[in-house]
Amino acid sequence: MRYSASRSGAALLLALPLLAGAVPLSGMNIPIPAGTTIPLNRRASFLLDDGSVNIPALARHLNFAAAKFQRGFNAFERNTGAAHPLAFLEDLFGLARRGAGGVALADQGEMLWTGKIALGTPPQEFTMDFDTGSSDLFVPAAGCGGSAGCGGRAEYDAGKSTSGRDLGRNFTLRYGDGSTVKGKQYAESVAIAGLSAANQTIGAADTYSAGFTSGMDGLVGLGFKSISVYNAPPLLDTLVAQGAVDAPVFGFKLAQEGSELFIGGTNKTLYAGEPTYVDVTHEGYWQVEMDQLAVNGTQAVGKTAAIIDSGTTLLVGNEQDVANFYKNVTGAKPVDGQQGLWSVPCDAVPQVSLTFGGKKVDIRPETFTLGPVSMGSSDCLAGIASTTSMCASFWIIGDVFMQNVYTIFDKGESRVGFADLA
């Protein structure tokens, strides 16, 4: 479904304090903003104190990503009555179940791009991961601190909010290692960078099991409603429907410094030239067609389906496609004991590019590798991993790619745009 949102209004970059958004915009005689910025912080990376990659933590991250996609496929069929065209991909990431046991959870630093939101009246503040690969919003509930995975996280107390309403529905998010996030659904006000959404469906989790180790309080899904576990409009849809933003568009810049999510349009100061757009081929995920994946100027993978996912770190494909890629890389080899993960020489990182809609995006060497596979190793963990159970050519395009381009997600026109960073 395409929106018919107005594109009028002068460009306006809001720099309002977060809590100013606790006041609803509806009914106020003020211009509708063309967009607003949410600064993002890079919380951590997959590196240990010795500078090497925490490979078990990376495997766990991919495990969570795998379960997220399977949940979305299931929700799509439940919400629409039809199977998602990629739903035959049971157990997406075979590598996810390997090396995940016995990990010191407190030491697992994951690469997350987080920003602030507030829930309720008066506002309760949370640090959130913004994820284009899912569509629901959830945070810990009051009392969740007794659950193994909730320690140190901010908690939502519905009893202290005058705007919250219990919807009488529960939710459960299951992950591939058996861990869960579960709790109740509420309708609640959400404030984000000076914008306000009323009666947004949120999840308040009374259980974050020990496997949920991501270093943030909760998650904001930015996908389409058809993959919502709640079968409810995602936050962006609510903001648009209530007139809080001018257009159902958002843009990401991910970088070591100056990362941001721009909601309601794009931040044109962060990119150069005109974006190249590609159509979403099937609404649910941000699924588009990738023209090719190339290494050192040679095509390794041809035209294929791809999902652009800010919530996954690596580029992930099936075993055959990934093997075709690495056979063109001198010194590439599988990581011992970690099926699907590969390394490349730290001093000879290949030139990798992805092409969408005829636009070639080069992956900088410093974003393609995550770090040495072990302390003192001359081999670095590479940014492309394979799966054991994907039966067709299909790719998850994560942050390894997104750090090299300004990415635009346009629900109104059902398309994704890519522009050179300024």
Q: Please indicate whether residue 206 is annotated as part of the active site.
A: no
Comparing 23-32, 209-218, 334-343, 362-371, the range with the smallest average pLDDT is: 23-32
Q: What confidence tens digit (pLDDT) does each residue in 161-191 have? A: 999 999 999 999 876 555 678 899 999 999 9
The count of other CB atoms within 10 Å of the CB of residue 255 is 16
- 7 part of a folded domain: no
Q: Taking Cα atoms as reference points, which of 250, 150, 235 lies closest to residue 188?
A: 235
- Same domain for 253 and 308? no
Total number of domains constituting the chain: 2
Q: Domain boundary at 263, 285, 301, which?
A: 263
Q: Please indicate whether residue 157 is annotated as part of the active site.
A: no
Section 379-408 average pLDDT: 87
- Same domain for 366 and 289? yes
Better-scored residue on pLDDT, 191 or 28: 191
* Residue in 129, 136, 237, 309 annotated catalytic: 309
- 8 part of a folded domain: no
Q: What confidence tens digit (pLDDT) does each residue in 217-240 have? A: 888 999 999 999 999 999 999 999
Q: What confidence tens digit (pLDDT) does each residue in 38-72 have? A: 888 765 568 888 888 888 878 777 767 777 777 78
- 6 part of a folded domain: no
Percent of the chain with pLDDT over 70: 79
* AA identity, residue 351: Q
- pLDDT of 305 above 60: yes
Residue 236 belongs to domain spanning: 18-263
* Residue in 131, 177, 206, 237 annotated catalytic: 131
pLDDT value for 1: 53
What CATH number did the domain enclosing 87 receive? 2.40.70.10
The Cβ-side half-sphere exposure at 329, using a 13 Å CA radius, reads: 27
d(CA 354, CA 401): 8
- pLDDT of 394 above 60: yes
Q: Taking Cα atoms as reference points, which of 240, 223, 237 lies closest to residue 282?
A: 223
pLDDT value for 29: 36
Better-scored residue on pLDDT, 301 or 65: 301
- 387 part of a folded domain: yes
Q: What confidence tens digit (pLDDT) does each residue in 135-164 have? A: 999 999 998 867 667 888 999 999 999 999
- Same domain for 166 and 198? yes
